[in-house]
């Protein structure tokens, strides 16, 4: 995540004319706040936004939007990279879109909720966005202030399970294991 925060471009940032002249310095400072000050220290988006307000001449709304959008994007980009590494190591899994369950979730993301794609595949939004994860859809309509996440789901059912003191055996749920052993519920 930190690597993504430092290297990722922030190219859709709109600034008033006065700030536009200092764009490179502002973007460098935002990256610093996201990576070094924010993600490494585990700060909330609100804490990051408070520090960014100074850079953006006290524009609280823009600071919050940048902190949420870029922080979310960086976290998901790091998770996507980790997912690819796990797949290279042989984990057979898929990505599942999880929309935030509240009334503010945009309609396109409500429809994406529960969508399953392969690790190397993209989610596709009705807004025209296409990307590997929420916040990485490459359209402002999909990415700005998006709180959705993706989760990983292993493909197939487990075949074996470690049973304490007994070793690895065929997979059983707790109820099946309990019944097989003749144990009674408390």
pLDDT in tens, the chain (186 residues): 545 544 455 555 554 555 555 667 777 777 776 666 566 667 777 777 777 777 666 567 777 887 788 888 888 999 999 999 999 998 999 999 999 888 889 999 999 999 999 999 999 999 999 999 999 999 999 999 999 999 999 998 778 888 888 889 888 887 888 888 887 765
Residue count of the chain: 186
Q: What is the DSSP letter of 121?
A: P
Report CA Rg, the chain: 21
3-state secondary structure of 34: helix
Which residues 6+ apart lie within 8 Å of 150 measured at CB?
Answer: 76, 79, 95, 96, 97, 98, 123, 133, 134
Spans of all domains in the chain: 1-88
């Amino acid at each position: 995540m930190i690597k993504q925060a430092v290297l990722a471009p922030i190219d859709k940032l709109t600034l008033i004319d006065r700030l536009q002249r200092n764009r490179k310095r502002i973007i460098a400072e935002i990256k610093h706040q996201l990576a070094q000050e924010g993600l490494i220290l585990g700060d909330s988006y609100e804490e990051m936004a408070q520090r960014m307000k100074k850079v953006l001449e006290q524009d609280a709304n823009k600071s919050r939007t940048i902190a949420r959008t870029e922080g979310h994007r960086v976290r998901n980009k790091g998770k996507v990279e980790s997912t690819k590494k796990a797949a290279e190591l042989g984990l057979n899994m898929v990505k599942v879109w999880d929309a935030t369950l509240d009334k503010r979730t945009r309609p396109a993301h409500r429809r994406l909720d529960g969508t399953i794609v392969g690790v190397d595949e993209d989610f596709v939004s009705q807004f025209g966005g296409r990307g590997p994860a929420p916040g990485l859809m490459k359209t402002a309509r999909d990415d700005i202030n998006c709180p959705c996440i993706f989760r990983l789901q292993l493909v197939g059912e487990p075949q074996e399970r470690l049973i304490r003191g007994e070793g690895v055996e065929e997979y059983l749920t707790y109820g099946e294991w309990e019944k097989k052993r003749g144990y009674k519920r408390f």
